[in-house]
Amino acid sequence: MTAVKTVVIVGSDTGVGKTFVGCGVARALVDIGRRVVAIKPVETGCADEPAPTEDGVQLARASGQRSPRMALRRFRHAITPALAADLEGGAVELAPLRADLARESAAADILLLEGAGGLLSPLAWTWSLIDLALALQATALVVAGDRLGCLNHALLTVQALGQAGIPIAGVVLSAPPVPDASTGGNFTVLRRLLPGRPIAALPRLPLPDGDARFPEIARWLCP
């Protein structure tokens, strides 16, 4: 994995726009000539056959990659992966997953990985996305929903990553389907509380392209 730059897209919570941001960044990186593989290592709430709405499927379409075309580990139950694996008689093991990621990204310049849920959501009972990021010597891109409560969630996520020694490329605020009184203002607050840290706020868009902020975020990853 040493020749591949690995970026883990970390959510401050579930449903904050990780896939949307991942797809937009993947396309922006491809547009500047980077060989990108975008993968959802573990996904829950999946049917037997992959659906276009699945996160792993959307990421693969965004990068245009041949493989993988879906998440590497898929479970039916739409719950945290560790429990979903239990219910379906399986387990997600770190070493085999790391080996699969190395194989899939062997010809890539950048490996984009999207987490499942928030940073500390258990991918297995003995490890989380932090452990995977450390194993891959990854950089984190934090995504938070631009809504009430995101300040605490985003700051806790940044703090946990810092304590684990995981570099942070920046923080992206993704506009929610229904804005609230904090939407738009959270950007100003985070810039004040995280001085010097790259921060971007994305408007609500129908598709993850066509916005100048995605090339900007891509430059955080590939200066």
Write out pLDDT tens, residues 151-161. Answer: 999 999 999 99
Q: Alpha-carbon torsion 187, 180, 12, 117, what sign?
A: negative
Determine the pLDDT at residue 25: 96
Q: Using 50, 70 and 90 to split pLDDT, how confident is the model at 203? A: confident
Q: What is the mean pLDDT of residues 180-185?
A: 96
User: Which residue would you say has higher pLDDT here, 9 or 1?
Assistant: 9
DSSP-assigned beta bridge partners for residue 137: none
pLDDT tens profile 89-132 = 989 999 999 999 999 999 999 999 999 999 999 999 999 999 99
Instruction: Determine which one of 40, 73, 74, 153 is catalytic.
Output: 40
Mean per-residue pLDDT of the chain: 94
Query: In this model, does residue 142 exceed pLDDT 50?
Result: yes
Burial of 147 (0-12, 13-18, 19+ CB in 10 A): buried
In the chain, the domains with their CATH numbers are: 5-221 (3.40.50.300)
Residues in Cβ contact with 31 at an 8 Å cutoff, skipping those fewer than 6 apart: 215
pLDDT tens profile 11-23 = 999 999 999 999 9
Q: How far is CA 34 from the centre of its chain?
A: 18
Determine the pLDDT at residue 205: 78
Backbone Cα Rg of the chain: 16
Q: What is the mean pLDDT of residues 174-189?
A: 95
Q: Which of 106, 143, 113 is nearest to 128 (CA)?
A: 113
Q: At 141, phi and psi to the nearest 5?
A: -115, 115
pLDDT tens profile 51-78 = 999 999 999 999 999 999 999 999 999 9
User: Which residue would you say has higher pLDDT here, 47 or 210?
Assistant: 47
Q: Using 50, 70 and 90 to split pLDDT, how confident is the model at 211? A: confident
Question: Which parts of 47-89 fold into alpha helices (H)?
Answer: 55-63, 81-87
Check if 40 is active-site. yes
Determine the pLDDT at residue 212: 81
Query: In this model, does residue 1 exceed pLDDT 60?
Result: no
